[in-house]
Structure 1
Amino acid sequence: MQSLKNYNPTLFLDKFRGKDFSGEWPTLPEIFTITVKRFGSRNAFTDWDTDAGSKRTYSYNTVFNQVNTLAQWLIENGIKKGDHIAVTGKNSPEWATVYLAALFAGATICPMDYALHESELENLLATAKPKFLFVDTEKFDYFNNKENSFKVFALNRKNENYIFTLKPSKDVRLTQFPEENDIAAILFTSGTTGKPKGVMLSHKNLVSDAFIAQYNMIINEQDVFYALLPIHHAYTMLAVFIESICIGAEIVFGKSMAVSKLMKELKEGKITMLLGVPLLFNKLAAGILKGIKEKGPLINFIMKSLMNVSYAVKKVTGINIGHKLFAPVLKQANINTIRIAICGGGPLAKSVFKLYNEMGIDFVQGYGLTETSPIIALNPIQHFKIQSVGQYFAGHMQMKILNPNEEGIGEICVKGPMVMQGYYNMPEETAKMFTEDGWFKTGDLGWLDKENYLMLSGRCKNMIVTEGGKNVYPEEIEDSFQLETDIQQITVQGYIADEQKKSEELEALIYPADSLFEKLNLKRADVSQEARDSVYEKISAIVSKINKNLQPYQRITRITILDTPLEMTTTMKVKRNYKK
């Protein structure tokens, strides 16, 4: 394994500095052009056609030609530098081509969440004011048949005005190239609460973050990244899409979280880089553990013992024996080609983090926000800490804890080239996010150890203060339930236990999993008191088990069983607008 010591992922850029780019950092069109020069014949974009299930793969040279053709067409059809172009749809080579072509034409790309309802997208479009909208087939007719202030084009060949049929009538010179401090993308995000905001990210923000992240992670053109999570989201957009085009790696576009498609794409795509959220990794881990348990007590004991040995060897020596030791198990789960797995979008249970490393997969966590492009901390594979969401990139950015309490916990603040330019047309909201001396306030609570590893505690606005004055972070408690497969959703909130004292205790809102109803031989639709009591009894037993491992002030004292799941974001986090 190549050492991170003295590793410099930007060294190759010196060969192109002054010729292919003149700024501190290349713009996205510049870095993509450099990658095409370096790796033009290598695979760039791969997906499976949704009709026939056939595989499509485009080389970097092919993608470059498609991007240039569309960029010329955009300019011929009136796109000026700084104009907005919106894109919304499933992950695909077409989506990525629009993104790059907009930037090659000097425009700003506005990726939008395809899971939103049409009325919600209309609200974002009214704010973004794009000249063009590129949309996937399910929503194409809706927008194409309306009177809009923008023109509508298709990401899917089933529809008219399909992007790969849009060609300029003559050769058009691309002369509207952006500069590194120009806005590359406006990402509309609501996080888990509040009014959606347009986060303005410059070319410098995105490209610098893609390279700075590599100081804690060695990747190269041989890697195959899996774009499974929605690509409009900052996490997938940067850590998969932009990261890949900076180094010449291949991107496999996943369009669905359906297990059959996931397994097919993992196997046939020969994925080496798997980026996901806790929900995805918890499901995969639960499947692995179930398979081991089904082999009987003796095999289960032997496997657990070998896993402990594998983890100890890796931590002490850095040698990964688990990948060979558990090769059949990994192959059965179609994750045997995975070299590195990264979890973001929220803290992962330590037990899950440890499991993957025991099984021989280099598994780490990262941390960031849309407003920071997003990566600002990442666990180095060779020196990871399972309790940490990552080590920040000292020397390339700054991080500090604002107003820490006696335990060192306070608001996480950062400075660096990846910090956003602000919220689109919201100067007052932008100002609230920064301290007077220019530190960006993340809104997250945490603490740093002596080696600059970050430990998350929760969101500032979610913190609960008990009667005894103890601070409780609901996310920490929710994390304790991540391997409880009979619970599909759990969200912890405070409630007033004593109206006179106004003392606050903890309530868990729980949506049971289908597996629990199967074990009880019940239908979810059964609303009889007997059925409800059976479900409550099982859930209560799980909560009691977890409570034993929590501090007294962290324990759940009230359980509410939900009939319907709480609304979630596209990165599988509950939207915390549920207060009862």
Structure 2
Amino acid sequence: MKKHRDGSWSEKTKSPLEPHMSVPWLIGKRLKERPNDVCVEVKSRFGLYWHPITAAEFENDIVRVARGLIGLGLQPGESIAILAATSYEWSLIDMAALSAGLVVVPIYESDSAEQVRWILEDSEVRLVVADSAAHVELVESVRTDHLLPTILIDDDGMGAIYEAGISIPAQAVAERRAALGASSLATIIYTSGTTGRPKGTELTHGNLVFSTLSVLQTEKEIIDRPGSRVLLFLPLAHIMARIVSIYALAGHGRMGHVPNTQSLISDLASFKPTALLVVPRVLEKIYNAAEAKSGGGKKLKIFRWAARVAVENSEKTHHGLIFRVKRAIAKKLVWSKLTAILGENCHYAVSAGAPLGKRLGHIYRGIGLTVIEAFGLTETTGASTANRPNAFVMGTVGQPIPGSDVKVAEDGEVLLRGPHVMRGYHNNPEATHEAIDEQGWFHSGDVGTLDHHGFLTITGRKKDLIVTAGGKNVAPAVLEDKLTGHPLISQVVVVGDKRPFVGALITLDAQMLPGWLASHGLASMTVAEAAKDPHVLASLQRGIDRTNKQVSRAESIRKFGILSGEFTQENGLLTPSLKVKRAAVLSRYSEQLEELYRDTRS
């Protein structure tokens, strides 16, 4: 790792990227070198078995679908959209479309009709592939003149694609692949964003190839070794899951798909992953659920004691026979329950989207699951910095990936540069010029710090910084990240801009509430009743008091209010990557916000 005169850091090792490189070229390397490698496993109808698919078999499927897309009349450079849950078919159509020289436009399942209309029109989509009748109906409701009939991903729909390609020779696919290069446009991903109309991020084949080659260098132990098994359950419409799927296809491991987290525990048990791709909330839920199930009284005390031992094990602050005995007891009584959920083979989780928090990171590492935190955006093709098994600092998002640069501007904004940075926003040169400066630095909008070894720590979003009436700058993410570790808290928004003090708006976790009440010897109650219960309020206050100890008096939370309901994608308060849409929350709950500050004397 090298520090430059301008304060930027870069990885000394350069990741090769040449003009001829494309995604089909990248996954074709595995086919050429190891055609009998199993690269994908597909879940059986009842979820008890995973069917293996070799690189050669996957290639046959790709070419067959690509021939069909060509047979439907789609020309190189034209766009197709995928509106579907995470599945083998999603990845297959993605790779086939890229092989046919098409541009893939993912659409989130949670997108509104107006958002879908905008995406289809702005990127001039010619064909939409969907996985449900409801999605087909949604597309038809906003149909544009140049759109072909929507194809449903079922036996009939896939059959129609295959039939369209009967007269198209495989050579046609080979010719389209040969015409691709690093500068060819591969995908337009519309950033969900927390405000405004989505912007279409243009990523080239070179962006995707560079990111893959760079990350496979540094995270080889996690995703690029024989025996690596990665289970994808986050939306493939999001760059994080999408790029990890390409990592898996280009490396030595295997990939599995499930559409959501509804059956996650059984899916983990049957697939037996060695690594997971998660957002922090998934890990928080697993831990909080385990704590709630431990019960109250002595059992709860034992659980929390075991958690402290896990932290000590991760920090390696204790050694010797006595600690080894403590560790063995903690493992038998508590840790084994958590590792049983994750699977005995799962030793890594890659986490992005929001900070996990040091304590929870230490707990997981202490029981045997190292959480690799990474940082990146759609505009940087996923990870721009990442911790590594051999270069790891808890609480940071790691160092820049090979061949890229990172620095922090004078105002604290994190700037990123390299071949992984998008070529621009689709049909939006003004926004592109605002995001990428003349030196090629992409302005991320995130605020952070770099330590003396080039490890990056993200402290919040630049636009979210709160300036209190007293002139104190407060980064709400620092407080929010600590509070969401409380078992009763589902979401929290820290407020206080131009106000006399910092406050918090909280939603309660309806799934965790029953277990928490039982473990504390309290009667069952609704979320609305819990919001007024003195025991619940006292527990939340204790959590806030613990959080306040980590910040100055001026930054501490003085009051909190409990909101009805939760923040979800469906009600427009969460992005598909589960980030809170702060402006939308403050607008919807403006009365509750005013109530928080109605009597400032308190």
Name the SS of the counterpart of 2:74 in structure 1: coil
Greater alpha carbon shift after TM alignment, 41-50 vs 460-469? 41-50
Higher helix share: 2
TM-aligned CA deviation for residue 52 of structure 1: 7.2
Deviation of 1:296 after TM superposition, in Å, equals 3.2
SS state at 1:263 partner: helix
Deviation at 1:58, TM superposition (A): 2.3
SS in 2 for 1:508: strand
Alignment partner, residue 53 of structure 2: 58
Say if 1:8 and 1:215, in contact at 8 Å, map to a contact too: no
3-state SS of 1:214 partner: helix
- Residue aligned with 1:383, SS: coil
2:253 aligns with one of 241, 249, 252: 249
**Partners of 2:70 and 2:199 in 1: CA distance:** 28
Aligned twin of 1:506:
502
* Map of 1:307 onto structure 2: 310
Structure 1 pair 176/487, CA: closer, same or farther in 2 (3 Å)?
same
How does 1:1-150 map onto structure 2 within 5 Å? 23-24=18-19, 26-49=21-44, 55-142=50-137, 148=144, 149-150=146-147
> Which residue identity lines up with residue 250 of structure 1 in the other structure?
R
Partner secondary structure for residue 132 of structure 1: strand
Q: Distance in 1 between matches of 2:160 and 2:466?
A: 50
Q: Deviations over 1:110-160 (max 9, x none)?
A: 111112234432332122211111101143441576654322444532654
The separation in 1 between residues aligned to 2:580 and 2:301, in whole angstroms, is 39
Counterpart CA distance in 2 for 1:59 and 1:227 is 18
Q: Does 1:169 align with 2:172?
A: no
Partner of 1:501: none
Contact 2:192 2:576 in 1 (8 A): no
Report if the CA contact (8 A) 2:268-2:341 is conserved. Answer: no
Residue 303 of structure 1: how far off its partner (Å) = 3.4
CA distance in 2, matches of 1:466, 1:384: 35
Q: Is the 8 A contact 2:87 2:259 kept in 1?
A: yes
1:281 to 283, 295, 311: 283
1:516 CA drift (Å): 3.7
Q: SS where residue 407 of structure 2 aligns?
A: strand
Decide whether aligned partners of structure 1 residues 162 and 256 sit closer, same or farther in structure 2, where only a CA change above 3 A counts. Answer: farther
Look up the equivalent residue of 1:226 and give its one-letter code.
L
In structure 2, C-alpha distance between the alignment counterparts of 1:165 and 1:547, rounded to whole Å: 60
The 1:50–1:120 alpha-carbon spacing in structure 2 relative to 1, beyond 3 Å, is: farther
SS in 2 for 1:458: strand
Q: Which amino acid aligns with 1:156?
A: I
**Which stretch has the larger CA shift, 451-460 or 216-225?**
216-225
CA–CA separation in structure 2 for the residues paired with 1:462 and 1:232: 25
Range that drifts further, 466-475 or 335-344: 466-475
Amino acid in the other structure paired with 2:247: E
* Residues 312, 318 of structure 2: 8 Å contact kept: no
The match for 1:18 is none
Matched, 1:157 2:154: yes
Find out whether 1:233 has 2:238 as its counterpart. yes
The verdict on how the C-alpha distance between 1:462 and 1:166 changes in structure 2, with shifts beyond 3 A counting, is: farther
The structure 2 residue matched to 1:387, chosen from 395, 401, 404, is 395
Q: Which amino acid aligns with 1:383?
A: A
Equivalent-residue separation in structure 1 for 2:300 and 2:360 (angstroms): 21
Q: Is the 8 A contact 1:339 1:361 kept in 2?
A: yes
2:529 counterpart of 1:546: no
The answer to whether the 8 Å contact 1:307/1:359 transfers is yes
Query: Residue 379 of structure 1 contacts residue 389 of structure 1 at CA under 8 Å; is this kept in 2?
Result: yes
**Aligned residue for 1:223?**
228
Q: Could you tell me how far 1:356 is from its partner in structure 2?
A: 1.1
Judged with a 3 Å threshold, the aligned counterparts in structure 2 of structure 1 residues 448 and 140 are, in CA distance, closer, same or farther, namely: closer
Shift of 1:527: 6.6
Unaligned runs of 5+ residues in structure 2 are 1-10, 568-572, 591-602
Query: Which stretch of structure 1 is more off in the superposition, 218-227 or 475-484?
Result: 218-227
Deviates more, 1:547-556 or 1:349-358: 547-556
Q: Which amino acid aligns with 1:557?
A: R
What do residues 77-100 of structure 1 show as CA deviations (whole Å, max 9, x unaligned)?
Answer: 211111101111011111111101
Which segment is superposed worse, 274-283 or 285-294?
285-294
CA distance in 2, matches of 1:44, 1:512: 41
Q: How far did 1:373 drift? A: 0.3
Task: Give me the identity figure in percent.
Answer: 24
Q: Which residue of 1 aligns with 2:594?
A: none
SS of the equivalent of 1:176 reads: helix
Aligned partner (choices 333, 337, 340) of residue 329 of structure 1 = 337
Equivalent position of 1:200 in the other structure: 202
Note the C-alpha offset of 1:557: 2.1
Residue 312 of structure 1 and its aligned partner are, at CA, apart by 4.1
Q: What is aligned with 2:556?
A: 555
- State the 1:545 CA deviation: 3.8
Q: After TM superposition, give the deviation of residue 329 of structure 1 in Å.
A: 3.4
- For the aligned residue pairs, the C-alpha RMSD in angstroms reads 3.1
Q: CA separation in 2, counterparts of 1:144 and 1:290?
A: 42
Name the residue aligned to 1:350: 358
Given that residues 80 and 176 in structure 1 are in contact (C-alpha distance below 8 angstroms), is that contact kept between their aligned partners in structure 2?
Answer: no
Query: Alpha-carbon deviation of 1:313?
Result: 4.5
Contact 2:357 2:481 in 1 (8 A): yes
Cα distance in 1 between the residues matched to 2:75 and 2:161: 21
Given the alignment, which residue of 367, 374, 380 partners 1:366? 374
Structure 1 gaps of 5+ residues are 1-5, 14-21, 405-409, 498-503
Separation of aligned partners in 1, 2:317 and 2:159? 50
Of 213-222 and 77-86, more deviation after overlay is shown by 213-222
CA contact (8 A) 2:78 2:126 kept: yes
- How big is the shift at 1:247? 0.8
Name the SS of the counterpart of 1:329 in structure 2: helix
- Change in 2 beyond 3 A, CA 1:364/1:314: farther
Residues 509-524 of structure 1 aligned to structure 2 (within 5 Å): 509-514=505-510, 515-516=512-513, 519=517, 521=523, 523-524=525-526
Greater displacement, 163-172 / 115-124: 163-172
Opposite residue 211 of structure 2, the aligned amino acid is D
Aligned residue type for 1:232: A
Counterpart Cα distance in 2 of 1:505 and 1:192: 24
Corresponding letter in the other structure for 1:242: I
* Bigger Cα displacement from structure 2, 518-527 vs 111-120: 518-527
Q: Distance in 2 between matches of 1:417 and 1:145?
A: 38
Shift of 1:249: 2.0
Q: Counterpart of 1:403? A: 410
Cα contact 1:153–1:163 (8 A) shared by 2: no
